Amino acid sequence: MTSSLAFYFSYQDTLAGKKDQIRSVVQVSASQVLHLRALKKSQQISEADYLQRLRLLIYSTSYSNGSYIFLMTQEARIYLHPKRPELEGLLINEVPHIKNGEAIAASFKQIAANPEKSQFWKLYLPKPDGGPSLEKLTYAQLLPDSDLIIGTGVYLDDLIPVYINRALSYITITLAVLLAAFATAVLISRNIVQPIIILSGQMKRLSSGDIDQEIRFTHHKDEIGQIAQSLEEFRDHLIENKRLRYMQEHVQFLENFDPVTRLYNRRAIGEALEREIIRNFENQEQVSFLFIRLDLLRNLTIELGDEQRDQILIETANRLRQILSINHRLARIGEGCFGLMLINKPAHINLEDVADSILNTIEQPIQLDNLQIQIGARIGIASYPEDGDQQFELIGRSEIAAKTARKREQGWLYFSQIKGQTAEHKLALWQDLSTAMDQDQFYLVFQPLFDLESNAPLSAETLLRWTHPTLGPISPAVFVPLAEQSGLISRLDHWVLNAVAKQCRNWLDKDIVFPRVAINLSGISFLRNDFEQKLQSIFSQYNVTLEHIELELTEGVLIEDLGRIQEKLKRVRNLGVNISIDDFGTGYSSLSRIKSLPVDHIKIDKSFIDDIDTNPQDLKIVQAIILMAQGLQLHVVAEGVETERQLSILREEQCDVVQGYLLSRPLPVADYEALIDEDLIIEGD
């Protein structure tokens, strides 16, 4: 269709152009002839001169590839014909090979009858060089005041090459336009339509949950790029929302489940046990709790590593699941400890049989790669209401029974079978712990830590003391384990944090410049999901910044769940808190295992310092710890320094910080304030 239109418009354009050309030629030539006639009329030239110059004009006028003009008389007689002079003087219908002479003569007579009107005709005339008559486009007009008609024409077949050339030009232009349009369409498709289709598909996949795809066209600088970037931001929001949902679900999971065995954790089993106690309060139905303690799991962890230890725990948990019934609730409540709660125990089930079945199951060999491991266990049993009416009492007393079973080399033991004043004394203290916190029977003392380079107090370790109203002072070595066993350790840690924040506020109000305050914290409190918020809340209540605080965590806490604790430590340190590893060397870790942990200090346990001046092995251990720690850019604290010789050795080995009775005992608040004001110089042998 486009080609046909191109040909048609080319033909019309060529024809119109030729018409304009021959009209112009005739009009110009006519003016020249009239000029000659005027010269003759004014006798400026003779008749002969006029005829000669007229002939020269007609014969010499040529244009457009040999086209010519001619003169005719009104009666259609050829007057001058530059191409066929032999025809001059003949009537048009007398010219040989003219098929339509009458029609041609009639055309010229029509011009004579209407001299003011020039017109075009299509006549059939032979070419001057012979041949058949061909269609010729002719234009003629009557010269005023004469009987002459001047005209010219063009054979239409001579226009074919021009027509074709123009048609080809139109076609070329048309094709160029079409190609440009096609290229533009392809460009639009590639740069606009196709990206929109692709981005639309990506949006649909995003809405279907495919958030891992990479959004395309984000590098574009146009509107497509803006759309792609917005889609990428939308995808990033979806990813972040998914991550937050996962974290929330993971946090909720960790609040109630152990991440290794997927069993209930200590908190969840304690709450479940509390609910069962309340449910059975009226009818006093028995609820039994079995504390299952695996033997030598720590030793296996040292030999095999955390991963193999976890495999042992998982296999043990899976075996226990298979032998338990619907009325049993199994939990992991410690590093190598499981707890089992029996609900509505049927009368025909014997607790001893359950315990024996558990022990037999645990003692079956465990295949770890090419290694076969066999472990044992001890079980302590406590029951409601005989052994207590609180969940922490049942869990704590069943743990005591399990420990006692191990000492007695028994497989299992009822708590009721334990006799002796020591157990009774502990039971009484359990009851008094909660009351002691409510009545502020606890108080704080501070033992300074000294920087061996500046000889100044670097920090002070906060120590908790308990004066019982009837029993007098109770050692932390007694009441802290009891708090852990009874589930009160978190409350005790909260009391300490609150007391430290309050004391710091008191010093600030007195304008006393004090070094950092180190706080011993249990792993249970530190690993709680809300620990950071609780820490900030307590200290912000007293308007005390956390830069004043250092937390001391035991080595065992940091190693039991290395992956989880790493992120926890980063978040706590970001609050401005320093972190110390307490009692380093007494656990089962090494600096190579904790090198990735974000901590500030390690404290060498007192047991290595006691004989550092007499035992070469202890000295080598201390030297290795200092060298490795300083290589990891950790400060080293030596605790338990009691002699000047010990202090001198530690100074020689470039220990950073020291603590011990030689320098200062734990001090009450007033004495510690006095110490801060003193210019103390530490010297050794």
The pLDDT score that the predictor gives to residue 601 is: 87
216 contacts 198 by C-beta, under 8 angstroms = yes
Stretch 400-426: mean pLDDT: 77
The pLDDT score that the predictor gives to residue 208 is: 81
Mean pLDDT of the chain: 83
571 contacts 548 by C-beta, under 8 angstroms = no
Backbone phi, psi, residue 151, to 5°: -155, 170
What pLDDT band is residue 553 in, cutting at 50, 70 and 90? confident
Stretch 97-112: mean pLDDT: 74
Q: What residues contact residue 486 under an 8 Å CB cut-off, 6+ apart?
A: 392, 393, 396, 430, 433
3-state secondary structure of 231: helix
Picking from 148, 103, 109, the residue whose alpha carbon sits closest to that of residue 123 is: 103
- Beta-bridged to residue 150, according to DSSP, are 71, 141
> Cα(115)–Cα(606) distance, rounded to whole angstroms?
138
Q: Residue 546 burial by CB count (10 A; 0-12/13-18/19+): exposed, middle or buried? A: buried
How many C-beta atoms lie closer than 10 Å to residue 75's C-beta? 12
The pLDDT score that the predictor gives to residue 561 is: 59
How many C-beta atoms lie closer than 10 Å to residue 132's C-beta? 9
Q: What residues contact residue 262 under an 8 Å CB cut-off, 6+ apart?
A: 317
Stretch 290-310: mean pLDDT: 84
415 contacts 398 by C-beta, under 8 angstroms = yes
Please state the separation of Cα 553 from the chain's center in Å. Answer: 33
Tokens (6 digits) for 37: 């006639």
Give per-residue pLDDT as tens, 429-443: 777 887 888 888 899
Stretch 354-375: mean pLDDT: 90
What does 636-663 look like in DSSP terms, one character per residue? EEEE---SHHHHHHHHHTT--EEESTTT
Query: Cα 205–208–213 angle (5° rounding)?
Result: 40
Say yes or no to pLDDT of 234 above 70: yes
327 residue type, one letter: N
The pLDDT score that the predictor gives to residue 291 is: 96
Say yes or no to pLDDT of 250 above 80: no
133 contacts 124 by C-beta, under 8 angstroms = yes
Picking from 607, 618, 675, 617, the residue whose alpha carbon sits closest to that of residue 642 is: 607
Specify the length of the chain in residues.
685
Check whether domain 264-418 has CATH 3.40.190.10, yes or no: no
Question: Which of 67-71, 101-105, 131-135 has the highest average model confidence (pLDDT)?
Answer: 67-71
- Beta-bridged to residue 62, according to DSSP, are 68
Backbone phi, psi, residue 366, to 5°: -115, 125
More confident residue, 143 or 330: 330
Do domains 2-163 and 429-677 share one topology? The answer is: no
Per-domain residue ranges of the chain: 2-163, 211-256, 264-418, 429-677
pTM confidence score: 0.44
Picking from 220, 215, 218, the residue whose alpha carbon sits closest to that of residue 239 is: 215
Picking from 201, 208, 212, the residue whose alpha carbon sits closest to that of residue 239 is: 212
Q: What is the DSSP letter of 94?
A: G
The pLDDT score that the predictor gives to residue 252 is: 66
Q: Which residues of 647-657 are buried (b: 16+ CB within 10 A; e: fewer)?
A: bebbbebebbb
The pLDDT score that the predictor gives to residue 119 is: 67
Q: What residues contact residue 538 under an 8 Å CB cut-off, 6+ apart?
A: 494, 497, 498, 501
What pLDDT band is residue 115 in, cutting at 50, 70 and 90? low
What pLDDT band is residue 216 in, cutting at 50, 70 and 90? confident
The pLDDT score that the predictor gives to residue 585 is: 66
Stretch 87-100: mean pLDDT: 78
The pLDDT score that the predictor gives to residue 588 is: 46
Percentage of the residues of the chain whose pLDDT score is greater than 70: 87
The pLDDT score that the predictor gives to residue 421 is: 45
- Beta-bridged to residue 468, according to DSSP, are 472
The pLDDT score that the predictor gives to residue 428 is: 67
Backbone phi, psi, residue 643, to 5°: -130, 155
Question: Which of 317-326, 576-585, 648-657 has the highest average model confidence (pLDDT)?
Answer: 648-657
Q: Residue 273 burial by CB count (10 A; 0-12/13-18/19+): exposed, middle or buried? A: buried
Fold of 2-163: Beta-Lactamase (3.30.450)
515 contacts 458 by C-beta, under 8 angstroms = yes
> Cα(528)–Cα(505) distance, rounded to whole angstroms?
26
> Cα(265)–Cα(377) distance, rounded to whole angstroms?
19
Stretch 326-337: mean pLDDT: 86
Residue linked to tokens 């060089």:
129
> Cα(442)–Cα(446) distance, rounded to whole angstroms?
14
Say yes or no to pLDDT of 658 above 50: yes
The pLDDT score that the predictor gives to residue 348 is: 61
3-state secondary structure of 513: coil
* Least confident piece of the model among 15-19, 187-191, 199-203: 187-191
* Least confident piece of the model among 326-335, 387-396, 481-490, 607-616: 481-490
Percentage of the residues of the chain whose pLDDT score is greater than 90: 23
CATH of 429-677, one of 1.10.287.4070, 3.10.580.10, 1.10.3720.10, 3.20.20.450: 3.20.20.450
